[in-house]
Chains A and B, each alone.
Chain A
């Protein structure tokens, strides 16, 4: 077993050399899977996550269809090799809960009423996990939805903040999540200024909670810019290809 480090922040610098309010390096690519209607890939630190969207399409079985809106279905899943100890490929209770909260983080962004009686599937596969996978999954999944041409109010950007070694920090990696005092994942629609996912575990005072939420929102705003760049990059390169 790995030895637990005695301190996670030394002289204001975290284990991986970041400042408390700094994001990990992020790489985003849109339109990476040819079979899917929309797809995106994100690397955030050591996280490597693929998201794909199929739909809007006809819903089977038909009795599950809603007369006035689309049904969004979401599966968050971790590959067995994505973590240190092999994870059973069967969906765990954690994955079932995360599938639900990821779906509920995306739903407010979509004009569901434009596609009555249809379904849209969002599949998220975590290929490598290093803390903050639910947030990176939402960031990638909302790009995959946009790539599929699903009409949306805004992109959803997500990022966590938390408390590590008595400091409020942004974008926790695995060891900070496990050894730290608290973790607050947030999903945010920047142009509407609203929060679509909020969870917390750990112990925080009300004041610390407020600064963690505000820091996470700042992180979401930065990620939002990267999302827009990635989306634009796909269409610029597609246009260049035509010429």
Chain B
């Protein structure tokens, strides 16, 4: 932690102790969420999410390929994340680092475990041909809480995805005119907390992330069940803090789903 950050930490922690934050939010308030869908015409589905000043785009591409040998009847869903260098002075060009891999895997886990996409319906020929759904997350401006912004962008892009109609003729897939929406049944929403001086705040922005001790992400589905959890950062949580966070996460996710009409 640099000296500047350490000075900031004191200020941020003192405010949080009084239930306040530098940007004027309450401890459990999200920044404004704005979602725009269908922003990339050439992608089968796309969305751009603004979470405060954090900006993330997600695009969905669909290809035909082979299923995994242990899931011969299921389509394949893969999530990848790029921390594009133009998004932050701290992002470097190059192959995905541990931060972008972790980000992609947290988003992937939420979508996969909640069974948001009906992969059964993406099978063309069992064991041979299935649809492969590529979700690519593109971080465009980093102002904190990339996980929640990326998870929203990925879901918004999937909800926007149109699959081409097809028929199978002699083992060949022939594309027919028209589109059908991707079978999306659940809307997992992740809620991320930062722990600063033993207090939890929701949706940390960049300055809070720089001074936080630890991070906790809890993803819940439409029924209020937990479908993914990830602790990050070099600090710790007490069991009590974790259960407190789980309850807040369920409430916040329901609020977000309601405000987005999901």
Name the B residues within 8 Å of A196 (CB-CB).
231, 236
Name the A residues within 8 Å of B246 (CB-CB).
206, 209-210
Name the A residues within 8 Å of B1 (CB-CB).
68
CB <8 Å contact, B227 and A203: yes
CB <8 Å contact, A199 and B230: yes
Residue of A nearest to B218 (CB): A200
Q: Give the B interface residue count (CB, 8 A).
A: 37
10 pairs of A and B residues whose beta carbons are closest in the complex: A200-B229, A107-B234, A194-B236, A198-B231, A100-B98, A108-B236, A196-B236, A96-B101, A201-B113, A209-B226
Name the B residues within 8 Å of A101 (CB-CB).
102, 230-232
CB <8 Å contact, A104 and B231: yes
Name the B residues within 8 Å of A213 (CB-CB).
239, 242-243
CB <8 Å contact, A200 and B226: yes
Q: Give the A interface residue count (CB, 8 A).
A: 35
Q: Does B60 contact A (CB under 8 A)?
A: no
Name the A residues within 8 Å of B239 (CB-CB).
193, 195, 213-214, 217
CB <8 Å contact, B114 and A198: no
Whole-angstrom CA separation of A171 from B96 in the bound complex: 32
Whole-angstrom CA separation of A97 from B97 in the bound complex: 9
Name the A residues within 8 Å of B243 (CB-CB).
206, 210, 213
CB <8 Å contact, B101 and A93: yes
Q: Does B109 contact A (CB under 8 A)?
A: yes
Residue of A nearest to B97 (CB): A96
Q: Does B21 contact A (CB under 8 A)?
A: no
Q: Does A59 contact B (CB under 8 A)?
A: no
Q: Does B221 contact A (CB under 8 A)?
A: yes
**B84 CB to closest chain A CB, in angstroms?**
18
Q: Does B250 contact A (CB under 8 A)?
A: yes
Whole-angstrom CA separation of A194 from B237 in the bound complex: 6
Name the A residues within 8 Å of B229 (CB-CB).
184, 198-200, 209
A1, A99, A104: residue with the most chain B Cβ atoms closer than 10 Å: A104
Whole-angstrom CA separation of A36 from B250 in the bound complex: 46
Jot down 16 A-B pairs with beta carbons below 8 A, ordered by A. Answer: A96-B98, A101-B232, A195-B242, A198-B229, A199-B229, A199-B230, A201-B112, A201-B227, A203-B113, A203-B221, A203-B226, A204-B225, A205-B225, A206-B225, A206-B226, A206-B247
Name the A residues within 8 Å of B112 (CB-CB).
201
CB <8 Å contact, A203 and B109: no
Residue of B nearest to A197 (CB): B231
- Interface set, chain B 131-153, CB cutoff 8 A to A: none
**B156 CB to closest chain A CB, in angstroms?**
22
B214, B226, B238: residue with the most chain A Cβ atoms closer than 10 Å: B226
**A210 CB to closest chain B CB, in angstroms?**
6
CB <8 Å contact, A201 and B101: no
Q: Does B85 contact A (CB under 8 A)?
A: no
Whole-angstrom CA separation of A197 from B113 in the bound complex: 20
Q: Does A202 contact B (CB under 8 A)?
A: yes
**B121 CB to closest chain A CB, in angstroms?**
20
